[in-house]
Amino acid sequence: MHWLVRPDSIRKLWIAFIAILALTVIAEFFVEAHPHFGVDALPAFNAWFGFIACVILVFGSKLLGMWLKRRDDYYDEQ
Amino acid sequence: MMLHPGLLLIAGGIAMTFVRGSARSALAVLLPALALFLVWQVGDGIFGRVAFLDYQLEFVRGDRLARVFATIFTLMALVGGVFALKQESRIEVPAAFVYAGSAVGAVFAGDLVTLFLFWELMAVGSTLVIWAAGASARAASMRYLMVHLFGGVVLMAGITGHVASGGSLTFEAMQADSLAHCLILVGFLINAGAPPFSAWLPDAYPEASWSGMVFLSAFTTKTAVYVLLRGFPGTEILIPIGLYMVFYGIVYAILENDMRRILAYSIINQVGFMVTGIGIGTEMALNGSAAHAFAHIIYKALLLMSAGAVLYRTGKRKCTDLGGLFQSMPLTTICGTIGALAISAFPLTSGFTTKSMISQSAANEHMMFIWLLLAAASAGVFLHAGIKFPWFVFFQKDSGMRPKDPPASMGWGMIAFSALCIGLGCYPDPLYAILPYPVDYQPYTGAHVVSQLQLLLFSGLAFFLLLNSLQRTLTITLDLDWFYRVLGPGLALGLAEGLANALAASGRGAAGLFSSIRTAIYRHYGPSGVLARTWLSGHMVLWVAILLLMYLVLFYLPD
């Protein structure tokens, strides 16, 4: 089994990933921010905004998919 | 000026169909390289004035905006030509060169008639590129051609109206203030993949061959971006249209299973950013749209090259059939991932130094709502193209396939564009120097890097936490092309059937009437009919006697 797909390495990758996520939030205190609007001055704005945007996009897509999804041979049968 | 770079590519492409072997390979590299050189020999100003009817055509107009686009188009033809050296179709690469050459011709066109001629030639070239992929692509190539011919008709109607109302034939900025100008705008937008005509792109492009789609991704939509930049800068309606395209691309790509259709939807998403920038219309936004188009052509072609390499080696396109390929295709995985990072605008890649100019210009104009939507869309880009594409193709479950990396020529194509993605990300100054307006923008500030990393990495977190909701299924998602692929033909078939039935019914009626007349005639005049029978002479004498008798009676009747 390739080292990258071993459960042990995947666990380590998750730990490293979470550490990097934390770092990007901490790094915010060390750079000079120049927000343009009120909302982007909130702490870790881009982190939670990006996360929430993705959650909304994924579930919004799923909702639309319920209505518009068809088997992938749909047009062949038409 | 010596030679028109676009015409060189068109003529060279046609000539290429007659040669084979190494001469053909040499042409595939030398033609676009020479064209790229010639693009930079076109000075500022107007060349090649041609009298046509009562009009003065300006065949070539050189300026900064035209040069940016002509540069990336010829560069794309060059690297695409290298990537496609192993392409066995005799039609595809020559058609792609005709296509690229007409795109170059369109961006250098100084007047609307010349623009229209090259515009239509592009439609022909690109249709041939799709058509060359074989029988499975024929239907899609015809649907594609229909949409573009329709777009061409709308554009021509607009140009005619514009000229008839006393407008100048020179192609310059205009307002969407009259029917004619609106038609021109609509003609441009159809090629950009704007609603309601977005579906032609994910319908047709993924049917092209492994190398065909690399060419297709570059020219049509980006020529549309160019004409919008030149013709309709600051037209506000473009902002909502662009934002719609941005989110349309993300949502459909999230639901898609075919790896190349994911990338096709993502083209519309990226063009949406550019269209939004054109709608904002400040110098910085227009620069951003032009720079983004330049960078986008490179990383989108790179993504499609890596997808093409996978298709070339495995013959499979669906995410549900792929996975685990990183183990045996390291080069393709690395190059595809670089393209994915660039499209997501990761720091140190070309997306970071170009796309951010558009959001920055929204911020500078205090358009908070638009800025927030663009930020959400950037997160969505990472979700649908940045992680989804490489994850489902190269990682996720192990499909058990162990295909090799593609042949060297394909590898070199990918390496060249990977280098450019990173090069323009680390050192964007040469690109900034050729943009239409002077650039006063510093992408690498601490705040920008940190906020972008937060946005993208937390989107990545969302991807892996929601992985179960993102698992691919064997489905497609209906789009507005349903109206002309199912409803339209259904209605037409229904109508045809109804008409045929009505005709048959009335035909039966007519036939019935006719046959009863025929029977009646036959009964009287047929061989055994009463009027054709052979009568005995005795009968005849009797009847004559009766008639004479009646005559006598009538004669002697008293008055």
pLDDT of residue B318: 92
Of A21, A28, A62, the CB nearest to B450: A28
Domain map (residue ranges) of chain B: 1-232, 236-480, 505-556
| CB-based contact B302:B423 (threshold 8 Å) | no
Question: Average pLDDT for residues B519-526, to the nearest whole number?
Answer: 84
B457 and A CB contact within 8 Å: yes
ipTM field: 0.94
Nearest-CB residue to A37 (from B257, B368, B451): B368
Question: Alpha-carbon distance B205 to B225, whole Å?
Answer: 18
Nearest-CA residue of chain B relative to A34?
Answer: B447
- Short-list A52, A49, A56, A51, CA closest to B254: A56
Q: What is the structure's pLDDT at B559?
A: 61
Query: Is B457–A57 a contact, with Cβ atoms under 8 angstroms apart?
Result: no
- Percent of chain B at pLDDT > 70 equals 99
How would you class B524 by CB atoms within 10 Å of its CB: exposed for 0-12, middle for 13-18, buried for 19 or more?
exposed
Nearest chain A Cα distance for residue B324, angstroms: 9
In chain B, positions 475-494, which contact chain A (CB-CB < 8 Å)?
A: 475-479, 485-486, 489
SS3 A42: coil
Closest by CA to B288, choosing from B344, B227, B362, is B362
Residue B94: what pLDDT? 96
Q: Does A50 lie at the interface with B, CB-CB under 8 angstroms? A: yes
Location of structure tokens 């995985």: B333
What are the structure tokens assigned to B358, written together?
């558009």
Name the average pLDDT for chain B: 93
Least confidently predicted of B172-176, B416-420, B421-425, B469-473: B469-473
Task: Compute the distance between CA of residue A58 and CA of residue B384 in angstroms, rounded to an integer.
Answer: 10
Interface residue A34 vs chain B (CB under 8 A): yes
Contact A24 B254 (CB under 8 A): no
C-beta neighbour count of B18 within 10 angstroms: 10
pLDDT in tens, B249-277: 999 999 999 999 999 999 999 999 999 99
Are B437 and B68 within 8 A, CB to CB? no
CB-based contact A36 B458, cutoff 8 Å: no
What is the C-alpha separation between B85 and B82, in angstroms, rounded?
Answer: 5
The pLDDT of residue B557: 78
Q: Is the pLDDT of residue B1 over 60?
A: no
Highest mean pLDDT (candidates B24-38, B40-54, B397-411): B24-38
pLDDT per residue as tens digits for the range B65-74: 999 999 999 9
Query: pLDDT tens string for chain A (78 positions)?
Result: 788 888 888 999 999 999 999 999 999 888 887 788 888 888 889 999 999 999 999 999 999 989 988 888 888 876
B87, pLDDT greater than 70 = yes
pLDDT-derived band at B333, boundaries 50, 70, 90: very high
The percent of residues in chain B predicted with pLDDT above 90, rounded, is 76
How confident is the model at residue B306, as a pLDDT?
Answer: 97
Give SS3 for B234.
coil
Number of other CB atoms surrounding residue B120 within 10 Å: 18
pLDDT at B368: 92
Quick one: pLDDT band at residue B489, thresholds 50, 70, 90?
confident
Which residue has tokens 């061959």?
A: B209
What's the whole-number mean pLDDT along residues B359-363? 93
pLDDT of residue A77: 75
Residue type, B196: P
Backbone torsions φ then ψ of B475, nearest 5 degrees: -135, 160
Name the residue facing A68 among B247, B466, B478 (closest C-beta): B478
Please give the helix or strand (H or E) that residue B115 lies within, else none.
Answer: helix B112-131
Q: Which residues of B touch A60 (CB under 8 A)?
A: 251
Nearest to B20 by CA among B79, B90, B92: B90
Mean pLDDT of B358-379: 94
Is the CB of residue A27 less than 8 Å from the CB of residue B454? no
Q: A66 — contact with chain B (CB < 8 Å)? A: no
